[in-house]
């Protein structure tokens, strides 16, 4: 598993560490190769390759397995959490804390000494129409209120972002894809220091809010094409139509996901290009020589 592929699960690990409330000073990650460890950081993440705690080793720290293989022959004074990949706790091995399995393949020998073994049971997704409608309405209320506020209070701001989407969609898409990916990687690697973990979490939340900002603008653009005189009302109706289209795209295999991602990155790029709508985006033109 490459660092980029591991990013979503690394974010999950960072959130789990943050929620746990334990004071952490150091985190380490292995992505490839065979690694025998006789010492651990406070948190060690196995993202690829094989990490082995030898039979004669006693280490302190928590291990998170998100890819590759963790092979426990010795003693771990801490917890082991499997999010993906493979975990083996062999005969005679010791884990003083909890072996928690969320996904992946786990094998815990009955002759191993483990404080607690826990298996996460994935809740069955509800297909209740009432819950689906409720989720849609909640999303609509949040985006609708935000879009209405922008149109009524700061119309020039939303117009600037909308112009960047309609007039410079390709540039916005390129900037959005590069910007979103770069920021995501940056925040994850910032979180590796753990000292900057709160900053990284705030950054990830802010990045998500920028995506929602772009979605609200798409709804505004749809609303401007509707035969509704009041801009605020037109925007709310446009956002409802946009969310419905996005929801329907989710039922189209592959192409639907690509379309949803394209809309997200174009909106993200348009927000960045216009400095959150504060400035009209005009691409730089290079004058040809005489």
pLDDT exceeds cutoff 80 at 88: yes
Q: How far is CA 247 from CA 192, 221, 242, in A?
A: 35, 18, 9
Question: Stretch 250-267: mean pLDDT, rounded?
Answer: 90
SS in 3 state form for the chain?
CCHHHHHHHHHHHHHHHHHHCCCCCCEEEECCCEEECCCCCCEEEECCCEEEECCCCEEECEEEECCCEEEECCEEECCEEECCCEEEECCCCEEEEEEEECCCEEEECCCCEEEEEEECCCCCCCCCHHHHHHHHHHHHHHHHHHHHHHHHHCHHHHHHHHHHHHHCHHHHHHHHHHHHHHHHHHHHHHHCCCCCHHHHHHHHHHHHHHHHHHHHHHHHHHHHCCCCCCHHHHHHHHHHHHHHHHHHHCCCCCHHHHHHHHHHHHHHHHHHHCCCCCCCCCCCCCCCCC
pLDDT tens digit string along 166-195?
999 999 999 999 998 888 878 877 766 667
Closest-CA residue to 28 (of 45, 7, 53): 45
Q: Quick one: pLDDT at residue 4?
A: 57
Q: Quick one: pLDDT at residue 165?
A: 96
Dist. CA 113–CA 258, nearest whole Å: 47
pLDDT exceeds cutoff 90 at 212: yes
Return the ∠ at Cα 264 (arms to 102 and 162), rounded to 5°.
Answer: 155
Which residues 6+ apart lie within 8 Å of 157 measured at CB? 150, 276, 277, 278
Which residues 6+ apart lie within 8 Å of 7 measured at CB? 184, 185, 188
pLDDT tens digit string along 134-144?
888 999 999 99
How many C-beta atoms lie closer than 10 Å to residue 38's C-beta?
11
Mean model confidence pLDDT for the chain: 87
Dist. CA 270–CA 281, nearest whole Å: 8
Question: Stretch 190-201: mean pLDDT, rounded?
Answer: 73
Dist. CA 213–CA 147, nearest whole Å: 8
**Higher local confidence (pLDDT), 245 or 40:** 245
Q: Quick one: pLDDT at residue 2?
A: 60
Question: Stretch 228-232: mean pLDDT, rounded?
Answer: 92
Q: CA end-to-end span of the chain, whole Å?
A: 52
Q: Quick one: pLDDT at residue 134?
A: 86
pLDDT tens digit string along 5-63?
676 777 778 778 777 766 677 788 888 889 998 888 788 899 889 999 999 999 998 99
pLDDT tens digit string along 102-126?
988 999 999 999 999 988 765 555 5
Question: Stretch 197-225: mean pLDDT, rounded?
Answer: 91
Residue 7 burial by Cβ neighbours in a 10 Å radius (0-12, 13-18, 19+): middle
Most confident among 15-24, 160-169, 279-288 (mean pLDDT): 160-169
Kindly state the greatest CA–CA separation across the chain: 83
High-pLDDT (> 90) share of the chain, %: 58
pTM score:
0.66
At 100, is the pLDDT very low, low, confident or very high (cuts 50, 70, 90)? very high
């Amino acid at each position: 598993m490459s660092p980029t592929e591991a990013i979503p699960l690394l974010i999950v690990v960072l959130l789990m560490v943050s929620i746990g409330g334990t004071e952490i000073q150091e985190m380490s990650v292995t992505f490839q190769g065979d690694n025998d460890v006789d010492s651990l950081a406070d948190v060690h993440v196995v993202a690829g390759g094989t990490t082995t705690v030898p039979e004669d080793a006693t280490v302190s720290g928590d291990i998170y397995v998100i890819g590759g293989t963790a092979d426990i022959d010795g003693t771990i004074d801490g917890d082991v959490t499997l999010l993906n990949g493979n975990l083996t706790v062999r005969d005679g091995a010791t884990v003083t804390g909890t072996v928690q399995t969320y996904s992946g393949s786990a094998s815990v020998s009955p002759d191993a000494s483990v404080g607690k073994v826990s298996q996460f049971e994935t809740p069955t997704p509800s297909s209740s129409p009432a819950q689906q409608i409720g989720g849609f309405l909640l999303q609509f209320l949040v985006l609708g209120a935000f879009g209405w506020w922008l149109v009524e209070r700061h119309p020039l701001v939303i117009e600037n972002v909308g112009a960047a989407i309609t007039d410079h969609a390709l540039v916005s898409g390129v900037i959005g894809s590069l910007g979103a990916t770069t920021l995501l990687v940056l925040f994850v690697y910032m979180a590796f220091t753990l000292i900057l973990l709160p900053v990284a979490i705030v950054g990830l939340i802010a990045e998500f809010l920028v995506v929602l900002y772009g979605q609200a603008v798409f709804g505004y653009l749809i609303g401007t094409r509707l035969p509704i005189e009041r801009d605020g009302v037109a925007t709310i109706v446009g956002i409802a139509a946009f969310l419905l289209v996005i929801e329907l795209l989710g039922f189209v295999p592959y192409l639907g996901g690509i379309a949803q991602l394209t809309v997200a990155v174009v909106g993200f790029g348009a927000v960045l290009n216009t400095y959150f709508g504060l400035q009209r985006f005009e691409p730089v033109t290079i004058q040809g020589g005489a």
